[in-house]
């Protein structure tokens, strides 16, 4: 089957003066052919050869093949530049001779000439390829990922009360829940995230943090660094406000409590009514000169 808007490997069925006709491997009767113009046909191509091509419509609205891979294919998103404006929409440069049409109804916000916008690809009712800024309808939910996989994504929308909508690896739909976001975030930000959950419909829940156990260790290191800078004490405990904890440590109250609890179990810190402080052994180590600690360490080795 020849698929509009996709890169696919097709078979040379017939050679003519102006190019070659390609068919899919499943089309044994060769009923559906698509032309690859002569200027794009690889040298010494023969009938039966396979060629990887992209399928789209040319300026005369004919389905045609090209060996060029455009900046955008079905199931992906990309930033494309506006090269022409009209009353019914905008035209985007996507690397092919015919520009990609972005209908007015598929635009979000103000669109300007020479501006670059994040778009996806879809097939309209007339069976033509068009761009859309409504990425919810083009991002896929059949990702190959597992929980705790680390991936990269691009934020494409901020939803109040929900969080940041993310295009994972430019293909899959994901969400960073609002409670996970501790710093300002905006559309266009590239983030490294962890897959925290995969919903039944395939949508991805994302976290800006590492896996929980690892994150507690990293948060614990952050707490210790601040403690050392503050002479071994910190006026934070279970009763501190989330705002105060975030201001001092840059983490949520829940993360602080988990990390502090882990440090207490390891007897690294103690918690008092006034806050947390390094335990006696760690406080002694902090006050011991570096040269003396090094000497003691060498002495133990021998």
279 vs 28, which has greater pLDDT?
A: 279
Taking only the tens place, the pLDDT of each residue in 249-277 is 999 999 999 999 988 988 889 988 889 99
C-alpha pair distances (Å), 17 with each of 14, 41, 45, 268: 10, 11, 13, 80
Q: pLDDT averaged over the chain? A: 87
Q: What are the structural domains of the chain?
A: 7-66 (2.40.50.140), 77-137 (2.40.50.140), 150-207 (2.40.50.140), 212-287 (1.10.10.10)
pLDDT at residue 285, rounded to an integer: 45
What CA–CA distance (Å, rounded) separates 165 from 72? Answer: 20
Q: What angle do CA 172, 177, 178 make, to 5 degrees?
A: 135
Distance, CA of 298 to CA of 243 (rounded, Å) = 44
The pairing of strands 233-234 and 172-177 is unpaired
Task: Please classify residue 4 by burial: count the beta carbons closer than 10 Å to its beta carbon, then call 0-12 exposed, 13-18 middle and 19+ buried.
Answer: middle
Confidence of residue 280 (pLDDT cuts 50, 70, 90): low
Q: Among residues of the chain, what percentage have pLDDT more than 70?
A: 90
| Phi-psi region at 128: left, alpha or beta (left = phi > 0; alpha = psi -120 to 50) | beta
Q: Is the pTM of this model over 0.75?
A: no
Q: Compute the CA torsion angle 64, 70, 74, 80 (nearest 10 deg).
A: -130
Contacts 24+ apart (CB under 8 A), 212-218: 212/258, 215/255, 216/255, 216/258, 216/259, 216/262, 217/259, 217/262
Question: DSSP letter string over 182-202?
Answer: -S---TT-EEEEEEEEE-TTS
pLDDT in tens, 106-139: 998 899 999 999 999 999 999 999 999 999 888 9
User: pLDDT value at position 184?
Assistant: 83
| Degrees to nearest 5, angle at CA 94 with 89 and 99 | 45
In whole angstroms, how far apart are CA 112 and each of 6, 81, 95, 161, 264? 28, 9, 19, 29, 56
């Amino acid at each position: 089957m020849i698929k509009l808007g996709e890169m696919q490997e097709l078979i040379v069925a017939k050679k003519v003066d102006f190019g070659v006709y390609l068919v899919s491997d499943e089309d044994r009767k060769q009923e559906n052919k698509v032309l690859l113009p002569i200027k794009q046909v690889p040298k010494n191509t023969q009938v039966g050869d396979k060629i990887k091509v992209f399928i789209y419509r040319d300026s005369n609205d004919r389905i045609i093949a090209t060996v060029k891979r455009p900046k955008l294919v079905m199931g992906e998103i990309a930033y494309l530049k506006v090269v022409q404006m009209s009353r019914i929409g905008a035209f985007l440069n996507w690397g092919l001779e015919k520009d990609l049409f972005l209908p007015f109804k598929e635009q979000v916000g103000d669109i300007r000439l020479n501006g670059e916008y994040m778009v996806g690809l879809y097939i309209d009712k007339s069976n033509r390829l068009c761009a859309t800024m409504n990425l919810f309808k083009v991002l896929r939910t059949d990702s190959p990922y597992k929980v705790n996989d680390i991936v990269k994504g691009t934020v494409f929308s901020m939803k109040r009360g929900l969080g940041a909508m993310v295009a994972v690896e430019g293909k899959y739909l994901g969400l960073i829940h609002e409670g996970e976001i501790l710093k300002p975030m905006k559309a266009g930000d590239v983030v490294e995230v962890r897959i925290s959950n995969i919903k039944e419909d395939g949508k991805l829940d994302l976290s800006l943090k590492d896996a929980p156990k690892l994150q507690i260790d990293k948060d614990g290191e952050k707490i210790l660094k601040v403690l050392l800078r503050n002479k071994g004490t910190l006026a934070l405990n279970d009763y501190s406000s989330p705002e105060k904890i975030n201001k001092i440590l840059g983490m949520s109250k829940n993360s602080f409590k988990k990390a502090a609890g882990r440090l207490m179990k390891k007897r690294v810190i103690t918690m008092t009514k006034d806050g947390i402080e390094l335990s006696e052994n760690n406080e002694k180590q902090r006050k011991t000169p570096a040269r003396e600690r090094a000497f003691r360490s060498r002495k133990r080795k021998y």
